[in-house]
């Protein structure tokens, strides 16, 4: 059973989630129904869309949560119900050994994700990382390790600016 990991942007502009989900569905359709296992950190955006696409294909997924306080301090209130629903559907949930969320915890979770997968799907616009542990960093580390990476960024997809910018 292929183990497919995901990394990708959290802040997707209006209409982009549907484009990304369709792109993920097409990518995962290459595998027989029920024959894949996903690995995700369950962040909003690409990670959660990936988990839904894996489930739609009859697959399973595991979640690697960056820190014990992740849900309380890093998951936006508007996204908590979706996060909780997907967390409940994970066949395995692992927590990184960090009490608080932050760049170090996110990078460690992504590195653990890379340890557990055979292929990385990167929902990435190709731009450099804004900080340690962002999508470009994860892609770079995966490539340095020789892990196959498939970059997905559908036509018309856009990122939205963080709140306050």
Predicted pLDDT of residue 161: 79
pLDDT reported for residue 162: 72
What spatial distance separates the first Cα and last Cα of the chain, rounded to whole Å? Answer: 43
Residue 56: closest CA among 40, 34, 41, 39: 34
* Domains of the chain as residue ranges with CATH: 3-152 (3.40.50.450)
The CA-based angle 144-148-151, given to 5 degrees, is 100
Q: For residue 83, give every residue at least 6 positions away whose Cβ sits within 8 Å of its Cβ, in sequence order, or none.
A: 42, 44, 48, 71, 75
Provide the pLDDT for residue 163: 63
The CA distance from 65 to 68, in Å, is 8
Give average pLDDT by consecutive 10-residue segment, the chain, 165 residues: 94 95 97 96 97 98 98 95 98 98 95 98 92 88 97 95 64
């Amino acid at each position: 059973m292929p183990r497919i990991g995901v990394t990708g942007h959290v802040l997707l502009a209006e209409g982009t989630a549907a484009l990304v989900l369709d792109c993920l569905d097409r990518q995962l359709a290459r595998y027989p129904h029920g024959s894949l296992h996903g690995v995700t950190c369950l962040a909003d955006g690409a990670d959660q869309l990936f988990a839904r696409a894996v489930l739609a294909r009859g697959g399973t997924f595991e979640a690697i949560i960056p820190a014990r306080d992740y849900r309380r301090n890093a998951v936006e209130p508007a996204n908590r119900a979706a996060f909780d629903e997907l967390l409940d559907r994970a066949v395995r949930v692992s927590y990184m050994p960090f009490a608080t969320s932050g760049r170090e915890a996110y990078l460690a979770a992504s590195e653990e994700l890379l340890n557990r997968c055979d292929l990385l799907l990167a929902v990435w616009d190709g731009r450099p990382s804004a900080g340690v542990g962002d999508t470009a960093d994860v892609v770079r580390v995966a490539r340095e390790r020789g892990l196959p990476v498939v970059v997905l960024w559908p036509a018309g997809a856009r990122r939205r600016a963080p709140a306050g910018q």
